[in-house]
Amino acid sequence: MILYTLRCSHDHHFEEWFSNSADYDAKKDAASLVCPECGDKDVGKAIMAPNVGKSSAAPMPAPSCGTPMGCGGCPMAGQH
Ligand SMILES: [Zn+2]
């Protein structure tokens, strides 16, 4: 099942469950998608909010010894 956020031509948003995207297409083609607020049949998928800001930043490499600079600044670099 897929939950789509739908939007009518009057900018009402509502959610509807579909078996799959083909089910959505079939119901849209049959004009059986109706806005529950105004009865508008000019209904389409709402633009989903883009996934901004969730791209995973490269994780900082964990310092391999206790110094803030990591092993490069450690007096014992190369020895442990
Ligand atoms: Zn509406």
Question: 1: closest CA among 14, 16, 15, 20?
Answer: 20
| Distance from Cα 19 to the centre of ligand 1, integer Å | 23
Q: What is the span of the domain harbouring residue 21?
A: 2-31+40-45
In a domain, 25, yes or no: yes
| Distance from Cα 75 to the centre of ligand 1, integer Å | 69
| Distance from Cα 45 to the centre of ligand 1, integer Å | 13
In a domain, 26, yes or no: yes
| Distance from Cα 10 to the centre of ligand 1, integer Å | 5
Q: What is the number of domains present in the chain?
A: 1
In a domain, 75, yes or no: no
In a domain, 62, yes or no: no
Do the beta carbons of residue 40 and residue 34 sit within 8 Å?
A: yes
| Distance from Cα 58 to the centre of ligand 1, integer Å | 43
In a domain, 11, yes or no: yes
What is the pLDDT at residue 47? 76
pTM (whole model) above 0.85? no
In a domain, 66, yes or no: no
In a domain, 69, yes or no: no
C-alpha dihedral over 19, 43, 11, 39, to 10 degrees? -100
What is the pLDDT at residue 80? 67
Would you give per-residue pLDDT tens digits along the chain (80 residues)? 999 999 999 999 999 999 999 999 999 999 999 999 999 999 999 976 666 665 566 677 766 666 666 666 667 766 76
